[in-house]
Structure 1
Amino acid sequence: MGPLAWSADVVGGLKWWQRAVLVVCLCALALPLWFAARNVHRFADGDRTITEGYVHCDWDGPCTGTWRLPGGQQGHGEIAGLNFEYDEEQVTGIRLYAGRDWAVTDRSGLAFDAAYEFAGAALGVVVVLSVAWFRSR
């Protein structure tokens, strides 16, 4: 029994609404894969840099700032991984790993997040297909 025969057996044993739920669940699992691909892309294509000018951190929100990339491009946007108190926000020269519109303080966090998202998507597929397999019996 090949993979196509297995999938035809599972889908054939489900009611129409169960097939619809199966398709919706499998499509929803594309979302963590999109986030994982984004983090892999950022991990591979970012550059080491430092902040340029002041970094502003809201007391309940993200930190934002600007940085200079190789080639003279200036990046700006949210900086993930910074947590400053209000009186410490005028700090300059913070080490970053960044692209044009994103920055993180720790590059390894991107790899960890991507691995976590890939694992979550794989586990989700296993759970969804297991449930479909048992419901088709």
Structure 2
Amino acid sequence: MGSSSWGAELLSGLKPLSRLVLFVCLCALVLPLWFAAQNTYRFIDGHHAKTEGYVHCESGGPCRGARRLPTGQRGSGEIRGLSFAADEELLTDIPLYAGQDWAVTDRPDLLVRAAWELVGTAIGTALVLWIAWNRSYSSGWRDEMKQS
């Protein structure tokens, strides 16, 4: 018997519906990779900035404000990491790490998020493949038992 790859063995032991579920699960695991890449890109591509004008924070919700980047561009939108009380929202010149349409108060937080998203993707991929392998192996084992 010739040797075949573990992927071929995995797929040959699965029923068509299980193959479809495996494919959908693996495709869904691309989403956290996209978020990790986005956070890594932001870490590299962002600029140190300060808020310009007032920062408005909704009660228990996100804060929004405008900022001027060192490149001369102006940005605005949600600022992650701020949690002001209603009477503190009129502070200006809050240091940020930002791009034109995003801002965070803590730059290393971007890498921490990216690392967690990568770890989650790795664990999810291993779990999906482990379940598929066990299903493939158990169905192949049952077929061998029926032939005996």
- Per the shorter chain, which TM-score range? over 0.9
SS at match of 2:59: coil
SS at match of 2:67: strand
Residue deviations 1:11-63, cap 9 Å, x none? 00000110010001000000100110110010000000110110000002100
Residue deviations 1:70-125, cap 9 Å, x none? 22100100000000000110000100000000000000100000000001001111
SS at match of 2:48: strand
Equivalence for 2:65: 65
| Aligned-residue offset at 1:65 | 0.3
Following the alignment from structure 2 to structure 1, what is the Cα–Cα distance between the partners of residues 88 and 130? 51
Task: Determine if the alignment matches structure 1 residue 133 to structure 2 residue 133.
Answer: yes
SS at match of 1:44: helix
Task: Determine if the alignment matches structure 1 residue 79 to structure 2 residue 79.
Answer: yes
Equivalence for 2:26: 26
Q: Output aligned runs, 1:38-117, within 5 Å.
A: 38-117=38-117
Following the alignment from structure 1 to structure 2, what is the Cα–Cα distance between the partners of residues 71 and 82? 24
Highest CA radius of gyration, 1 or 2? 2
How many pairs were matched up?
136
The CA RMSD measured in Å over matched residues stands at: 1.3
Equivalence for 1:14: 14
Q: Structure 2 unaligned segments of length 5 or more: list them.
A: 138-148
TM-score w.r.t. length of structure 1: 0.96
Letter in 2 for 1:132: A
Following the alignment from structure 1 to structure 2, what is the Cα–Cα distance between the partners of residues 64 and 80? 9
Percentage of matched positions with identical amino acids: 57
Letter in 1 for 2:115: A
Q: Structure 1 unaligned segments of length 5 or more: list them.
A: none
Following the alignment from structure 2 to structure 1, what is the Cα–Cα distance between the partners of residues 10 and 102? 43
| Aligned-residue offset at 1:5 | 1.0
SS at match of 1:81: coil
